[in-house]
Structure 1
Amino acid sequence: MAHVQVSHNVTIGILALQGAFAEHQAALKKLSCQKKIAIVLVRAAEDLSACDALIIPGGESTTIALLAKLAGLLEPLRTFLQKKPVWGTCAGAILLAQAVKNTKKGGQELLGGVSVTVARNGWGSQVESFEAPLSIDGLQDPSVPFMGVFIRAPVILALHPSTRNPPIEIIARLPTNLVPKSQKLMVHNEGDSDPHDPQSIVAVRQGRHMLTTFHPELTNDGRFHEYFVRTCVLPTLL
């Protein structure tokens, strides 16, 4: 069980309009500091006012954006991003991106917050989902790989560092040798194996925000949730 030292009461919201919000809720409850973490399922603007941080789950990014718009949540979410930590997983990562490729007809509403460009479904369709062990410094027990679950996962096409924004920290890359042979990036030039290619990046932090292109909430490993609380949320409460 992942453990995090919490000296303050912390309220973490989970955008609960569509997708794997219940799985994130279960993962937070399993943290050994659970008595000091309150969880709010965010479905309306007033729910955000109680939150110290927010998780945007995996699901269908266009649907989540549409439901957020219908609920009057888009602008409150953008305002929240300017002040408090947000973590997006898979579809949530798309919504946090500065720009997105491969959108559905009519485009894609974005919240922004992280200076990257992503491509939707960059690894292919649902049937091309896969898992891969990731070596990640900064997690508890870093010698133990974290299993990344990639389901219609977005791909990071580019980083956009700027002196006006916090630096972008690469948390995890997917080594080329771990990609199943059946997988071909829809947006990748065949034969390009540059280890510094941004398309190998699967998790980043920028300031108080974090995105992961995979689904940590679909594992029994709570270390990414602990990492978010410890490195993104708690420093903003000091």
Structure 2
Amino acid sequence: MSTASTLTIGVLALQGDVREHRAMLEQCGVRTIGVRRPAELAQVDGLVIPGGESTTIGKLAGIFELLEPIRAALRAGLPAYGTCAGMIMLADGIEGGTAGQETFGGIDMVVRRNGFGRQVDSFEATVEFAPTWADHFDYPATFIRAPYVEKVGGAAEVAATVSGPGGDRIVAVRQGRLLATSFHPEITGDTRIHELFVELVRHA
């Protein structure tokens, strides 16, 4: 079993909070690299897919010849964590997406793109992060033009919800070695969710 200090976790470096994710992961004691090419993907024990714009991430992944290699790596068991647009990229289905929008897939869920509205509708909320594989805790979550999960299949586990005018919305899901959140833990200074992902990678 690998220790945290021997792990290398990649951050998909096409768009989004790449530096912030790398800084949080390095606080957790792991080595990080930016992933822009298949050769870099081949070096990592786990992959973080940051926020940004999901249609742009899909297009850039195709341009940088990463779309199929990442799909294949996920099918082969590479642990991955997607935040905001990264959650959309890990979804098997999208509501409100563009025609022909590409994702990596891997989690049996349908995600509503921009489910919480536009940039001006960004908000903060304390969510109860309640996975079955770790201690429950309250987390100060920041939602920025965030998606939410419409539904999950039997293989996926709901790890957190948030209450709002439309009722409770699913904002964190885990399926095996894959984790996804609607919110942006990389900008909070609170490393607990990154630590959970590092543990998933370490035990992979």
Q: Output the TM-score relative to the length of structure 1.
A: 0.79
How far apart are residue 135 of structure 1 and its match? Answer: 2.0
Instruction: State the aligned residue count.
Output: 201
Report if aligned partners of 1:140, 1:223 keep a CA contact under 8 Å in 2. no
State the match for 2:84 in structure 1.
90
Task: Map 1:92-111 to 2 at 5 A.
Answer: 92-104=86-98, 106-111=99-104
Cα offsets for 1:34-60 (capped at 9, x unmatched): 2xx211100011101110110000111
Report if aligned partners of 2:130, 2:136 keep a CA contact under 8 Å in 1. yes
Q: 2:9 aligned to 4, 9, 12, which one?
A: 12
Report if aligned partners of 2:109, 2:156 keep a CA contact under 8 Å in 1. no
- The question of 1:39 aligning with 2:32 is answered yes
Determine helix, strand or coil for the equivalent of 1:147.
strand
User: Radius of gyration: which is bigger?
Assistant: 1
Report if aligned partners of 1:131, 1:149 keep a CA contact under 8 Å in 2. yes
Question: Amino acid of the residue matched to residue 103 of structure 1?
Answer: G
Report if aligned partners of 2:58, 2:67 keep a CA contact under 8 Å in 1. yes
Q: 1:169 aligned to 110, 135, 157, which one?
A: 157
Equivalent-residue separation in structure 1 for 2:25 and 2:173 (angstroms): 20
CA RMSD of aligned residues (A): 1.9
State the match for 1:234 in structure 2.
202
Equivalent-residue separation in structure 2 for 1:87 and 1:121 (angstroms): 19
Task: Map 1:201-216 to 2 at 5 A.
Answer: 201-216=170-185
How far apart are residue 80 of structure 1 and its match? Answer: 1.0
Report if aligned partners of 1:154, 1:213 keep a CA contact under 8 Å in 2. yes
Identity %: 44
Question: Structure 1 pair 7/131, CA: closer, same or farther in 2 (3 Å)?
Answer: closer
Cα offsets for 1:70-114 (capped at 9, x unmatched): 01110001011112101100000001000101113x331011100
Q: 2:67 aligned to 58, 74, 83, which one?
A: 74
Question: Amino acid of the residue matched to residue 158 of structure 1?
Answer: K
Equivalent-residue separation in structure 1 for 2:4 and 2:149 (angstroms): 35
> Higher strand fraction: Structure 1 or Structure 2?
2
Task: Map 1:51-70 to 2 at 5 A.
Answer: 51-70=44-63
Question: Amino acid of the residue matched to residue 90 of structure 2?
Answer: L
Structure 2: stretches of 5+ with no match in the other structure: none
Report if aligned partners of 1:88, 1:96 keep a CA contact under 8 Å in 2. yes
Equivalent-residue separation in structure 2 for 1:96 and 1:140 (angstroms): 21
How far apart are residue 140 of structure 1 and its match? Answer: 7.9
Report if aligned partners of 1:150, 1:215 keep a CA contact under 8 Å in 2. yes
- The question of 1:24 aligning with 2:21 is answered yes
How far apart are residue 6 of structure 1 and its match? Answer: 2.8
Determine helix, strand or coil for the equivalent of 1:135.
strand
Cα offsets for 1:202-230 (capped at 9, x unmatched): 11110110110111111100000001111
